[in-house]
Copies of this chain bind each other. A is one copy, B any other.
Amino acid sequence: MLQGNAIIGQSGGPTSVINASLAGIIEAARGQAPIGRTLGMRFGIEGFMRGEVLDLGEENPATIAALRTTPSSALGSCRHKLKEADFPKILEVLRNFNIRYFFLIGGNDTMDTIHRVEAYCHTQGYDLIGVGVPKTVDNDLCGTDHTPGFGSAGRYVALSVKQAGMLARDMKRVDQFVVFQTVGRSSGWLPAAAALAKVNEDDAPHIILLPERAFDQDRFLADVKRYYDRFGWCSIVCGEGVCYADGMPISASRVTDKFSNVEFGAMGGTSAAMMLHRMIHAAFGWRGEFQVCESLQMCASDRVHSEDAEEAYACGRRAVELALAGTSGVMVSIIRDSNDPYHWSLGTTPLAEVALGAKPMPNNFINDEGNFVTPECMAYLKPLIGSLPEYVRLTAGLLI
């Protein structure tokens, strides 16, 4: 069996449970004879190439255990697309630290990194076992039912939309609409998760805008007006990456105003929700608000869905078990064995398949109008997000 040190890296944006995967790897590697030391990359592959490496064996086991409830990427993260020139440098650092087990926790770019590093090492006669652990709040990884981190981010979204929806309902004589923006540039899994906030017909959300469907301002405003006419208010959830039919993001303004048509993105900072807010205000004169939580939905460890944290931890452990069994070039995957009751198990997917691209929502998860999700989608999402708190509403009718 391959003898050497192991290294772990975290890559891309974090999730609320990415450190649970880190803890899983560290704890599963502890005491395994083939693995000498378990090392960590400081700031991902970018730091690694500069030789920024930690000995995770120096950490108190209690600290490692507490990573399971600690948000963010404890090792530090990066976004680095590998260039050909990077490979010799990476191999040099691998050799320097006698690293034979290579674990990265990340999304499809990260899986591509493991895949290419492993292949390069092979051509150079350096034995390296590389296993990927899936992670992304966007849920857009191929080859797995879902990704650790998505459920907790989706829970943050659904909780926020549910609570803010009740507020909007009770304040409708002051403000008439609320727009909540989720992260997720190319896929609509996170805005879709908001649908679980809805129990009664008038509950938020009313409209969900997904990057999978082109935005049509006239149709959107007609939808908003319809909900307003019915309930006196309207709740809209949008993915940050929603675009017009020609591919232009809605976060780049096309609202005609008395000043000019300004491209806000170019000025450093804007948002899709703000643009929708402006459109609605311009069309109807209503008051409302836009909510842009950005990375807060990736790190809210007090809103983690416990099953998600369990899965993230288990994926980390499984990566080590696979590596010790000599399996390389795969990502740990989650298999949904049963939906109700929810049961899952772990499998593997070749890295090359994961690296191919982002997984959009399937067509049968989006309604014909393209402004909400289907019951099939909600059935898929429900066990990943978990039960939401039940709130009451008063039911007494008006006395006169």
Which residues A20-53 have CB closer than 8 A to chain B? 39-40, 42-43, 46-47, 51-53
Quick one: given A76-B173, A173-B76, A394-B54, are A296 and B298 in contact (CB under 8 Å)? no
Interface size class of A (residues with CB under 8 A): 35 or more
Question: Using Cβ atoms and an 8 Å threshold, which residues of chain B touch A10?
Answer: 170
| B399 touching A55, Cβ below 8 Å | yes
- A293 CA to B268 CA, complexed, in Å: 19
Chain B proximity mask over A291-318: 1 for CB below 8 Å, otherwise 0: 1111110111111000000000000000
Residue of B with least CB distance to A37: B399
Quick one: given A72-B163, A173-B43, A262-B262, are A63 and B392 in contact (CB under 8 Å)? yes
Q: How many copies does the complex hold?
A: 2
Chain B proximity mask over A146-173: 1 for CB below 8 Å, otherwise 0: 0000000000000110011011111111
Quick one: given A54-B396, A394-B40, are A78 and B293 in contact (CB under 8 Å)? no
* CB of A397 within 8 Å of the partner chain: yes
Question: Using Cβ atoms and an 8 Å threshold, which residues of chain B touch A295?
Answer: 164, 167-168, 178, 289, 291
* CB of A325 within 8 Å of the partner chain: no
- A399 CA to B48 CA, complexed, in Å: 11
| B281 touching A274, Cβ below 8 Å | no
Chain B proximity mask over A227-241: 1 for CB below 8 Å, otherwise 0: 000000000000000
| B67 touching A396, Cβ below 8 Å | no
* CB of A206 within 8 Å of the partner chain: no
* CB of A70 within 8 Å of the partner chain: yes
- A245 CA to B56 CA, complexed, in Å: 51
Q: How far is the CB of A400 from chain B (nearest CB, A)?
A: 5
* CB of A122 within 8 Å of the partner chain: no
* CB of A247 within 8 Å of the partner chain: no
| B79 touching A14, Cβ below 8 Å | no
| Segment touching B, from A84-92, A128-136, A253-261 | A253-261
Which of B63, B69, B281, B395 is close to A389, meaning CB atoms less than 8 Å apart?
Answer: B69
Question: Using Cβ atoms and an 8 Å threshold, which residues of chain B touch A393?
Answer: 70, 74
| B269 touching A399, Cβ below 8 Å | no
A-B contact pairs, 24 of them (CB 8 A): A14-B171, A54-B394, A54-B396, A54-B397, A58-B395, A58-B397, A59-B396, A66-B390, A70-B166, A71-B163, A71-B167, A72-B166, A72-B170, A77-B170, A77-B171, A159-B302, A160-B296, A160-B300, A163-B300, A164-B299, A167-B295, A168-B295, A260-B262, A268-B282
List 5 additional A-B contacts (Cβ < 8 Å) besides A70-B166, A301-B389: A67-B392, A72-B171, A160-B300, A270-B274, A293-B296
